[in-house]
Structure 1
Amino acid sequence: MTNDNKPFHYDPTCTHTISSVQVREAYLQFMITIAKMIREDMNISKDDLFVQEEMAKVMKLETDIANATTPAEERHDVTLLYNKMTLKELQEKFALNEFNWTFFIQGVMSSVSVQVDPEEEVVVYGMPYLQELKAIISKYSASTIQNYLIWRLVIDRVSSLSRRFKDARASYRKALYGTTLEEARWRECVSYVNNNMENAVGAMYVRETFAGESKRMVQDLIDKIREVFIETLDELQWMDESSKAKAREKALAIKEQIGYPDYILEDQNEKLDQEYANLNFSEHNYFENILENLRAGAQKSLKKLRERVDQDM
């Protein structure tokens, strides 16, 4: 497990070691505590035994899903994971009770006005997982599956919630990492803005610190390297003319990415403004801003299905 915002995965062969037992117990207590806090915020009656039983079921489902997932050591060869098929074939091979893959994906893509049909090709990377998913789901009630989905959403966003939610995972972090130390809040916020508004932050950084001639100097160096490479091709005896022509074509087709895209420094910057046109942030609502950013990011990714690749980005 790489961090506490990812699914809880543990090695089933090590479930009886002291450390793994402690981690599982701390994780379950973390789940129970968060569930109680959410119920309290929603003015739902307190029922400790019920919450404990329900979250234990969620943890069992999460464990079954983890065990069905291809181990990391088996995911290095992408060619073995790459399985292209149509939506129709996906539905036929991995049919789930009362769930239609084609209708589901059509519904998702319709949110950005993109139409897909049963012949649309998709790539499936988790064949063993999907093969076992039907059997796993059949073991659990609809309420447990719903609770699992809600839990996955909550644990993914705990870092974005208030201090009391973050404090609730202290024991779990202690069992998992041996420390409860977390990154300072201001550093976390700066990192988030930098990672999610890269070009906007980059424009301010470049204006403040980047030497004016640095990018031009690097561009000149690249141009000279390319020029010498192309000139050298004529001297190669082992390469035929057809191969040389292809090599020249590839050398001239290379697009440089030096430091930053030039457009971010334009004064009337419509292109940069357009990158954030769909974001509606509020100065006083951090968590809502996170959700807004996730929504906009998801829509941007979905739209790429029918968009040409911008090779200058």
Structure 2
Amino acid sequence: MRKGLKIAMLAGSAFASVAAAPVAKPELGTWGVDLTARDTNVKPGDDFARFANGAWLARTEIAPDRTRAGAFITLQDRSEADVRGLVEAIPTNPAATPAERKIADLYASWMDEGAIDAAGAKPLAPYLAEIDAVKDRAGLIRLFASPDYAAPGAAVGIRPDVDDPTHYAVSVRQGSLGLPGRDYYLEKGAKYETIRAAYRTYLTQIATLAGLPDPAGRANRMIALETRIAADQWAPAQRRDVTKTTNRMTVAELTALAPQFDWPVWLRAQGLGSPKRLIVGEKSAIAAAGQRLDDVPLAQWKDYLALRFVSDHAQYLAKPFDEAKFAFFGKALADQPRQRDRWKRGVALVNAALGEEVGRLYVARTFPPESERQMGELIGDLRAAYGELIANASWMDAPTRKEALTKLASFDPRIGHPATYIDYSALRIERGDLLGNAVRSDRFDWALQLARFPKPVDRALWNMTPQTVNAYYSPPMNQITFPAAILRPPFFDPAADPAVNYGAIAAVIGHEMGHGFDDQGRQYDATGKLRDWWTKESAASYTGRADRLAAQYDGYEPLPGLHVNGRLTLGENLGDLGGIQAGYTAYQRYLARHGRAATVDGLTGDQRFFLSYAQIWRAKSRDGFLRQQILTDPHSPESIRINGIVRNFDPWYRAFDVKPGDRLYLPTAERVRVW
């Protein structure tokens, strides 16, 4: 997903009142898990993911407009439909507020395909003219500094200061590329050559549609430039190292590192003035990107900016642009057969541009206060469970344990929705100007960031909208956040068996809390400051365990010849392992209060817990999407998030009588136990 203690066990739990007075029948099955999803011909110890979900995998077809199917996708579809109903009801509501009418106007500008197609390439004209007017490097830097254009060498943002999380700091990181990640430019093999050839065809096509001279030459020059930048950039696993990507610099020091970018001009152009200090990420990549400004002719940079702008905004243009983008990024890259329905992409647009205003409507319609109350109780159970795990971690010495418990006590959970919502009154939306709306939305987002710097950090801000099916942990804020949209079955169902909710949403909450103690999150203290609070001995013990988990995941091969990167996915894998441990410990605390779990449908409480865990992670992906996930995503493929975790957890062995000889069996000494 996200990044002293007095342990007090709550008198109740999220499910105590539910067990006493069920409010409704669970949405899934008779007690919260769809047992028809199982393939009981598979031994749990051979492939637990397939045992729990094999029949579902066999009968499930990925929708032609999707790259995957699964629990997250089902909830995304549900959230999407809810938002559509809210948005399409606004025009007929005489009491709609000005902010709500902006939502309706933006959606209408997207849905008016006739006007968009009639405009053709004309909306591009002012932006392409601005690029064409650049005569020197100073002009180029000013465009790099604009939120309208993608700066390939470096990206400037604003985030909480790692040394003083109560205030914001300016951050500088390596920039983005046109393809999803550097490996797409650098990897050898026929598959990657095919992708690069398709990318070249796509860039040539959109350059032609935009009326740019020498479209094939521009495409070749853009790919050549991006390939050089990709070779300079850090790999995704390297970028996870918070100590190596946290370099405190003055503007003068950053200028010495990469003088070609003329940082004083860049920062002033962005409205940042002259910050006293910056947090710089991948130093060698930024220095090399600066060198490219010396090596690469101005005309080639202008080719890049023009083509990248057209590509980044093709979906807001006439149908030929939109279809060309989907043909490459959807079909060729992700194996997605069909473009998503227009209304679905319109919902995505309003969620991105006016997300919290949409979220305010969404919460009022879909998120009952009772869910918020029960989630608060459950988080209390998880906090107590983590306290128990930390207290019993034999490898952690007393000074480190004390700091860890202090950090746990200071966790700040946010549930459902922000306390206050973003004011979008300064964002101008025009029904007849879709591309302009998209550009102005980007400018508005940057203006929001600027308005916060250099003020104290606003801890009430959210990085996800309430209608987002996800959750996250923020290391510098020490906050865990759970939007309303994920608090639905199969993740959370107030009517479900307690084992189900502890195996599902409790494991997710535990995952997010676990990020506070993963290989990177553990380096932040209770206040969110980047500080080494571990003794040398405890750090070595923890690192040894993490290294063993990374090595395990390196051995998984979801696609022929393409292995999971155990270092890239380490933080999420540690979060999963800690999450299931905390969820299970919390479940045992629940049973201690309310009595032993009965057997239901021939399944013990522990078996129901693990089946629920497997149910939330069931997924089926297209190969193109899976390849992109393995190369760029810190999350492991879902089947491995099931099998790779349970085989390290002793209670799973007992629950399903897993024995030596079963394919997932690990000898006790080889199981990774962090807590």
Q: How big is the shift at 1:61?
A: 0.6
Q: How big is the shift at 1:220?
A: 6.7
Corresponding position of 2:238:
74
In the alignment of these two chains, the number of paired residues is 271
d(CA) in 2 for partners of 1:56, 1:100? 28
Corresponding position of 2:283:
127
Corresponding position of 1:108:
270
CA shift in 2, pair 1:171/1:212, >3 Å: closer
d(CA) in 2 for partners of 1:72, 1:220? 37
Which of 238, 258, 263 is 1:94 aligned to? Answer: 258
CA shift in 2, pair 1:91/1:239, >3 Å: closer
The DSSP-based 3-state class of the residue aligned with 1:276 is coil
d(CA) in 2 for partners of 1:203, 1:87? 40
d(CA) in 2 for partners of 1:218, 1:172? 42
The question of whether the paired residues in 2 share the 8 Å contact of 1:86 and 1:121 is answered with yes
Q: Over aligned residue pairs, what C-alpha RMSD do you find?
A: 3.4
Aligned-residue sequence identity (percent) comes to: 23
Corresponding position of 1:18:
190
Q: How big is the shift at 1:250?
A: 8.1
Structure 1 gaps, min length 5: 230-237, 264-271
Q: How big is the shift at 1:303?
A: 2.5
The question of whether the paired residues in 2 share the 8 Å contact of 1:30 and 1:169 is answered with yes
Residue pairs, 1:176-195, within 5 angstroms = 176-195=333-352
CA shift in 2, pair 1:212/1:169, >3 Å: closer
The DSSP-based 3-state class of the residue aligned with 2:259 is coil
Residue pairs, 1:255-270, within 5 angstroms = 255-263=412-420
The DSSP-based 3-state class of the residue aligned with 1:84 is strand
**Amino acid corresponding to residue 268 of structure 2 in structure 1:** Q
Which of 194, 201, 215 is 1:51 aligned to? Answer: 215
Residue pairs, 1:1-313, within 5 angstroms = 6-8=177-179, 9=182, 10-14=184-188, 17-39=189-211, 50-96=214-260, 99-109=261-271, 114-116=272-274, 120-173=276-329, 174-216=331-373, 218-219=375-376, 251=409, 255-263=412-420, 272=421, 275-313=423-461
Q: How big is the shift at 1:32?
A: 1.1
CA shift in 2, pair 1:181/1:6, >3 Å: farther
Deviation track 1:80-132 (CA, whole Å, cap 9, x = no partner) reads 12211100111122211xx41122112212xxxx5325xx2111112121232
The DSSP-based 3-state class of the residue aligned with 2:197 is helix
The question of whether the paired residues in 1 share the 8 Å contact of 2:208 and 2:215 is answered with yes
**Amino acid corresponding to residue 186 of structure 2 in structure 1:** P
The question of whether the paired residues in 2 share the 8 Å contact of 1:57 and 1:144 is answered with yes
CA shift in 2, pair 1:195/1:38, >3 Å: closer
CA shift in 2, pair 1:239/1:180, >3 Å: closer
d(CA) in 2 for partners of 1:94, 1:75? 19
TM-score, with normalisation over the residues of structure 2? 0.36
CA shift in 2, pair 1:134/1:216, >3 Å: closer
TM-score, with normalisation over the residues of structure 1? 0.73
CA shift in 2, pair 1:250/1:287, >3 Å: same
The DSSP-based 3-state class of the residue aligned with 1:308 is coil
d(CA) in 2 for partners of 1:248, 1:141? 54
The question of whether the paired residues in 2 share the 8 Å contact of 1:170 and 1:180 is answered with no
d(CA) in 1 for partners of 2:370, 2:291? 62
d(CA) in 2 for partners of 1:157, 1:300? 21
Q: How big is the shift at 1:275?
A: 1.4
Q: How big is the shift at 1:221?
A: 7.0
d(CA) in 2 for partners of 1:144, 1:248? 53
d(CA) in 2 for partners of 1:20, 1:178? 14
- RCO (CA 8 Å, sep 6+): is it higher in 1 or 2? 2
Deviation track 1:180-211 (CA, whole Å, cap 9, x = no partner) reads 42222211111232244333222222222332
**Amino acid corresponding to residue 116 of structure 1 in structure 2:** S
Whose helix fraction is larger, Structure 1's or Structure 2's?
1
